[in-house]
């Protein structure tokens, strides 16, 4: 120490804010004793309590009131509309029961480790996604910004789907349901069925013409659909009110929004089991096709489903876990939420195919009745000989078995003339193989099935209220993944920012409630999230495993959890997960390149969908969505690598001390003087751990701990120590 330096006594309650840079300027860099001294943390356990519970730590960060709220929030975020309308479709298309086994394997290899990783990061650093990645490595801080951009893009169109569900919910309080039958058109002479509806179906016509009033292409915007505009506004008002106070307001709503869908699914399952044909649907669903597991495409689709089912990369998982106490067992939470998500998908699949089995049975009965009438007509006309028809067949009340018997006989006897008869085989499997996903399942196929339910308005109300709650649960997590990191980083008022965010998002979302809005929903769903999210999660995995250091992160987990996580996670994070994610990224890029970019347009004259390619400007928008989502990653890297922006905090951290405790989180930037003293890089530094007593200790001490951010502050004596009037400088 310089000979002129003095030890200054400080009052316990005095707050001092100084810069490490200023302190370094007063030190003699050639002093060997000084070089050996370092700042250590007196490791004493301190409860991480809220301010209202009397904590001495002035940490104003809110916390979950109980563990149940937190678990429901994570379940509500991960369990969304995709569990109901995408998982059943991919399961049915990719091998049924064999796909479930494949999905479970990938859940253990990719899903749980990566979900545990995000939970741990949020809980350890108690920051949103931007703050977490800024701490891991400032050059990789763009990962957090990219997560926010992707979440914003997804929120824009995801809330539109909630608006659609609200519209159908509001229209369900009618008997009969408005989509039960085709509308009639009256003119001066006679009344006839709407031709567009007659060519398709009542539910299809209602979806495209009454609800969306859709245009024939993405280039024909057709103006705003005022009904959907009102529903979109209502959806954003609901999100704004729920998120206005952060987890204090949204946490209470989670009890209903997360639990209500399970009650509805169970009720639907019980009701569906009592309907004819439901067992056929479930049997068709879960019949394993083991040979399909050898196809690489199936593995890619299963990995993609695992990835998106857990909402990885959005930042919402990190944001929710950042409000946890540091000693929370996030490993248990990760395993619990992942398996709840998996069993929810199975439950939804059972419900969907039980209902679709019933629908297929109803349609098959109509098919048999119509074709039986045609056979009777052919018999009367002499086109088919009565001699070939078995005597026990009664066409006025023919069973499915009898019809199939007659159909096979006619097909063999009239082999050459059979195509001209236009008879249908009426196989229930053919109808089940038409299973659709997305909006086609929710607003057409499932909606049509409910029209055959007794008390159909009640079931329609329950179904669309379930969709609204599933959507809101995901929107809460999505919105929290944007608001939390922005508020943490830029210190803005959460209430004001939430209102501004929802207002801006609603205004931009008007694109999706034009008559061509459904095509933009498809565009954003295909291009704004899938590829950018994969890149984000790959960089997350690499940043923790190779930049921050997997060994150091495992030590952080040991300190935080009180036990060492299984080495299984070490090998998954360091080897398996990065390799599998990179393989998934490459296969996704190849698949995207091979698939022509386009959308299914509804052609009014044909009353059917037709695949159209995007126009030139549409291709430019698709490309822009991908670029804008990942652009923050290279931009932040270049800015911080080249020091293009002069940070007001300088290249050293400003730290506030009071009563021997850190009040303000240090800004951890690479390359500052404190880290150079000890030859440390950012990735080697400890995670922030506030509320510890700070003091200086000689390097020869048997126990050495680092400061909260891994840096060694200079020149501070422990503020909680008793008076030290005559302490010699050599002891410093």
State the DSSP code for 665: P
Task: Return the number of other C-beta atoms located less than 10 Å from residue 506's C-beta.
Answer: 20
How far apart are alpha carbons 237 and 506 in whole angstroms?
9
| Pair 281, 354: CB distance under 8 Å | yes
Annotated ligand binding at 470? The verdict is: yes
**CA distances, 254 to each of 62, 196, 271, 469, 698 (Å):** 16, 42, 26, 9, 51
> Which residues, listed in sequence order, are joined to residue 289 by a DSSP beta bridge?
none
Residue 303 corresponds to which tokens in the numbers above? 């990995």
How far apart are alpha carbons 453 and 460 in whole angstroms?
9
Run of H or E residues at 247: helix 247-273
How far apart are alpha carbons 19 and 649 in whole angstroms?
9
Evaluated on CA atoms 117, 123, 129, 133, the torsion sign reads negative
How far apart are alpha carbons 609 and 210 in whole angstroms?
16
How far apart are alpha carbons 5 and 10 in whole angstroms?
15
Cα 16 vs. chain centroid, distance in angstroms?
Answer: 43
How far apart are alpha carbons 651 and 637 in whole angstroms?
16
| Pair 481, 533: CB distance under 8 Å | no
How far apart are alpha carbons 511 and 505 in whole angstroms?
11
Annotated ligand binding at 79? The verdict is: yes
> Which residues, listed in sequence order, are joined to residue 37 by a DSSP beta bridge?
698
User: Which residues, including other chains, have CB under 8 Å from residue 106's CB and lie 6 or more apart?
Assistant: 299, 302, 303, 306
> Strand 37-42 to strand 693-698: parallel, antiparallel, or no bridges (unpaired)?
antiparallel
Residue 637 corresponds to which tokens in the numbers above? 């890297």
How far apart are alpha carbons 14 and 656 in whole angstroms?
11
φ, ψ dihedrals at 19, nearest 5°: -100, 140
The angle at the Cα of 75, spanning 338 to 115, to the nearest 5 degrees, equals 40
Task: Return the number of other C-beta atoms located less than 10 Å from residue 434's C-beta.
Answer: 11
Helices 550-561 & 112-125 angle (0-180, nearest 10): 70
Which residue numbers belong to the known binding site? 76, 79, 83, 341, 470, 474
Which residue numbers belong to the known binding site for Na(+)? 76, 79, 83, 341, 470, 474
């Amino acid at each position: 120490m310089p000979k002129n330096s003095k030890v200054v006594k400080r009052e316990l309650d005095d707050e001092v804010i100084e810069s490490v840079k200023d302190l370094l300027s007063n030190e003699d860099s050639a002093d060997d004793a000084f070089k050996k001294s370092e700042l250590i943390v007196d490791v004493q356990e301190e409860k991480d309590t809220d301010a209202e519970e009397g904590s001495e730590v002035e940490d104003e960060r809110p916390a979950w009131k109980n563990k149940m709220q937190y678990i429901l929030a994570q379940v509500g975020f991960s369990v969304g509309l995709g569990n109901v309308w995408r998982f059943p479709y991919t399961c049915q298309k990719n091998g049924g029961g064999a796909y479930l086994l494949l999905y479970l394997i990938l859940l253990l290899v990719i899903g749980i480790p990566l979900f545990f990783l995000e939970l741990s990061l949020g809980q350890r650093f108690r920051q949103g996604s931007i703050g977490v990645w800024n701490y891991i490595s400032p050059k990789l801080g763009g990962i957090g910004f990219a997560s926010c951009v992707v979440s914003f893009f997804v929120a824009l169109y995801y809330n539109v789907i909630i608006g659609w569900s609200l519209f159908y919910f509001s229209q369900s309080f009618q008997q009969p349901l408005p989509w039960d039958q085709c509308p009639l058109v009256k003119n001066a002479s006679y009344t006839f069925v709407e031709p567009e509806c007659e060519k398709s179906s009542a539910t299809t016509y209602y979806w495209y013409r009454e609800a969306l009033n859709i245009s024939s292409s993405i280039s024909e915007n057709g103006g705003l659909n005022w009904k959907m505009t009102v529903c979109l506004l209502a959806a954003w008002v609901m999100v704004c009110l729920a998120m206005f106070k952060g987890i204090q307001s949204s946490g209470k709503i989670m009890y209903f929004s997360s639990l209500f869908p399970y009650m509805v699914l169970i009720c639907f399952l019980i009701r569906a089991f009592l309907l004819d044909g439901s067992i056929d649907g479930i049997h068709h669903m879960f019949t394993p096709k083991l040979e399909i597991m050898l196809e690489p495409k199936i593995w890619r689709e299963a990995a993609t489903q695992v990835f998106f089912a857990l909402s990885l990369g959005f930042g919402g998982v990190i944001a929710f876990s950042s409000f946890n106490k540091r000693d929370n067992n996030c490993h248990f939470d990760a395993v619990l939420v992942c398996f709840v998500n998996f069993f929810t998908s199975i439950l939804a699949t059972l419900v969907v195919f039980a209902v679709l089995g019933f629908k297929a049975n109803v349609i098959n009965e109509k098919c048999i009745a119509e074709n039986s009438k045609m056979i009777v007509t052919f018999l009367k006309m002499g086109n088919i000989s009565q001699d070939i028809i078995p005597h026990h067949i009664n066409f006025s009340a023919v069973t499915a078995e009898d019809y199939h018997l007659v159909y096979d006989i006619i097909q063999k006897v009239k082999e050459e003339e059979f195509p001209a008869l236009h008879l249908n085989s009426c196989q229930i499997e053919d109808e089940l193989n038409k299973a659709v996903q997305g909006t086609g399942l929710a607003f057409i196929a499932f909606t049509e099935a409910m029209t055959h339910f007794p008390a159909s308005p009640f079931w329609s109300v329950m179904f669309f209220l379930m969709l609204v709650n599933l959507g809101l649960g995901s929107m809460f997590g999505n919105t929290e993944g944007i608001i939390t990191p922005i508020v943490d980083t830029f210190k803005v008022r959460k209430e004001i920012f939430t209102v501004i965010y929802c207002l801006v998002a609603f205004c931009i979302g008007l694109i999706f409630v034009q008559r061509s809005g459904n095509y933009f929903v498809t565009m954003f769903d295909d291009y704004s999230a899938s590829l950018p999210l994969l890149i984000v999660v790959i960089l997350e995995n690499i940043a923790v495993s190779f930049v921050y250091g997997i060994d150091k992160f495992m030590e952080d987990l040991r300190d935080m959890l009180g036990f060492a996580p299984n080495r299984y996670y070490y090998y998954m994070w360091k080897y398996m997960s990065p390799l599998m994610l990179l393989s998934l990224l490459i296969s996704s890029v190849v698949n995207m390149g091979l698939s022509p970019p386009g959308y299914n347009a509804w052609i009014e004259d044909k009353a059917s969908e037709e695949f159209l390619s995007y126009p030139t400007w549409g291709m430019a928008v698709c490309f822009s969505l991908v670029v804008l989502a990942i652009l923050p990653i290279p931009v932040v890297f270049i800015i911080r690598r080249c020091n293009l922006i002069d940070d007001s905090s300088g290249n050293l951290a400003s730290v506030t001390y009071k009563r021997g405790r850190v009040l303000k989180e240090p800004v951890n930037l690479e390359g500052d003087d404190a880290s150079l003293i000890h030859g440390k890089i950012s990735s080697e530094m400890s995670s922030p751990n506030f509320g510890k007593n700070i003091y200086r200790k000689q390097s020869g001490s048997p126990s050495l701990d680092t400061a909260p951010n891994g840096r060694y502050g200079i020149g501070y004596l422990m503020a909680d120590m008793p008076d030290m009037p005559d302490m010699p400088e050599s002891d410093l």
